[in-house]
Structure 1
Amino acid sequence: MAKKYSAIVLFLLTALALLAAYLFYQTQQETNGQRPPARAIAVKTSHASMQPLARQVNALGTGLANDSVQLIASSSEYLTYLNVIEGQSVQQGEVIARLNDVEQRARVAELQAQLTEQQRQLERLKNLAATQAAAQSMLDEQQSRVNTTLAQLESAESRLRQMTIRAPFDGVLGLRTVSQGAFVNSGSVITTLDNIAQLRVEFNVPERFIAELAVGMPVAIRNIAFRNEIFEGQIKAIDPRIDPVTRSVRVHGVVDNQELRLRPGMLLDVRVTLANQDVLMVPENALVPLQNRQYAFTVGEDDRVTQVQVQVGERIPGWAEILDGLADGDEIIVEGVQKVRTGVTIRRAE
Structure 2
Amino acid sequence: MLVMLGGLAILAVVLAFGFYLHVKALMASAPKPGAVTVSDTVVRPSAWQSRMKAVGTLSAVHGVELTTQVAGVIKTIAVRSGAQVRAGEVLVTLDAAPEEAQLASLQAAADLAHTTLERARRLMTGQTVTQAAIDADEANLKVKQALVDQQKALIAQKTLRAPFSGRLGILQVNLGQYLTPGTRIASLQDLRAMHDDFVVPQIDIARLSRGQPVSVRVDAYAGRVFHGQITAINSEVDLNTRNVTVRATVPNPDGLLRPGMFVHTEVTTGAPRELLTLPASAITYNSYGASVYVVVPAKTGTGKIVQQVFVTTGPTRGDQVTVLNGLKAGQTVVTSGQLKLSPGAAVRIDNAVQPPDAVHPKPAEQ
* Separation of aligned partners in 2, 1:208 and 1:177: 45
Q: Which residue of 1 aligns with 2:196?
A: 201
Q: State the number of aligned residues.
A: 285
How far the C-alpha of 1:184 sits from its partner, in A, is: 2.3
Instruction: Give the conservation status (yes or no) of the 8 Å contact 1:88–1:172.
Output: yes
TM-score (norm 1): 0.69
Describe the superposition over 1:94-115 as per-residue Cα deviations: whole angstroms up to 9, x where unpaired: 1111000011112222222322
* Separation of aligned partners in 2, 1:227 and 1:238: 28
Q: Which has the higher helix share?
A: 1
Instruction: Give the conservation status (yes or no) of the 8 Å contact 1:52–1:276.
Output: no
Instruction: Give the conservation status (yes or no) of the 8 Å contact 1:84–1:176.
Output: no
Q: Which residue of 2 aligns with 1:228?
A: 223
TM-score (norm 2): 0.66
Describe the superposition over 1:248-300 as per-residue Cα deviations: whole angstroms up to 9, x where unpaired: 21111122222221111111111111231779x677799997769889xxxxx
How far the C-alpha of 1:71 sits from its partner, in A, is: 1.9
How far the C-alpha of 1:219 sits from its partner, in A, is: 1.2
Q: Which residue of 2 aligns with 1:113?
A: 108
Task: Please give the root-mean-square deviation of Cα atoms over the aligned residues, in Å.
Answer: 3.8
Q: Which runs of 5+ in 2 are unaligned?
A: 18-42, 292-309, 334-341, 344-366
Does residue 83 of the first structure (1) align with residue 78 of the second (2)?
A: yes
Q: Which residue of 2 aligns with 1:31?
A: none
CA, structure 1 residues 292+157, in 2 after alignment: closer, same or farther (shift >3 Å)?
farther
Does residue 126 of the first structure (1) align with residue 121 of the second (2)?
A: yes
* Separation of aligned partners in 1, 2:80 and 2:16: 107
* Separation of aligned partners in 2, 1:116 and 1:182: 36
How far the C-alpha of 1:129 sits from its partner, in A, is: 3.3
Q: Which residue of 2 aligns with 1:20?
A: none
* Separation of aligned partners in 1, 2:13 and 2:187: 106
Q: Partner letter of residue 199 of structure 1? A: M
CA, structure 1 residues 10+110, in 2 after alignment: closer, same or farther (shift >3 Å)?
closer
Instruction: Give the conservation status (yes or no) of the 8 Å contact 1:205–1:251.
Output: yes
Does residue 263 of the first structure (1) align with residue 266 of the second (2)?
A: no
Q: Aligned residues: percent identity?
A: 26
* Separation of aligned partners in 2, 1:223 and 1:277: 25
Q: Which runs of 5+ in 1 are unaligned?
A: 15-45, 296-307, 322-330, 340-350
Equivalent position SS for 1:275: coil
Q: Partner letter of residue 264 of structure 2? A: D
Does residue 216 of the first structure (1) align with residue 225 of the second (2)?
A: no
CA, structure 1 residues 208+278, in 2 after alignment: closer, same or farther (shift >3 Å)?
farther
* Separation of aligned partners in 2, 1:122 and 1:309: 97
CA, structure 1 residues 215+333, in 2 after alignment: closer, same or farther (shift >3 Å)?
closer
Q: Partner letter of residue 8 of structure 1? A: L
Q: Which residue of 2 aligns with 1:7?
A: 10
Describe the superposition over 1:201-234 as per-residue Cα deviations: whole angstroms up to 9, x where unpaired: 1111222221121122111111111111111112
Please list every run of at least 4 consecutive aligned residues from structure 1 whose deviation after the TM superposition is greater than 4 angstroms. 1-4, 9-14, 281-295, 312-316, 331-336
Of the three residues 161, 165, 181, the one matched with 2:160 is: 165
Q: Which residue of 2 aligns with 1:33?
A: none
Greater alpha carbon shift after TM alignment, 126-135 vs 267-276: 126-135
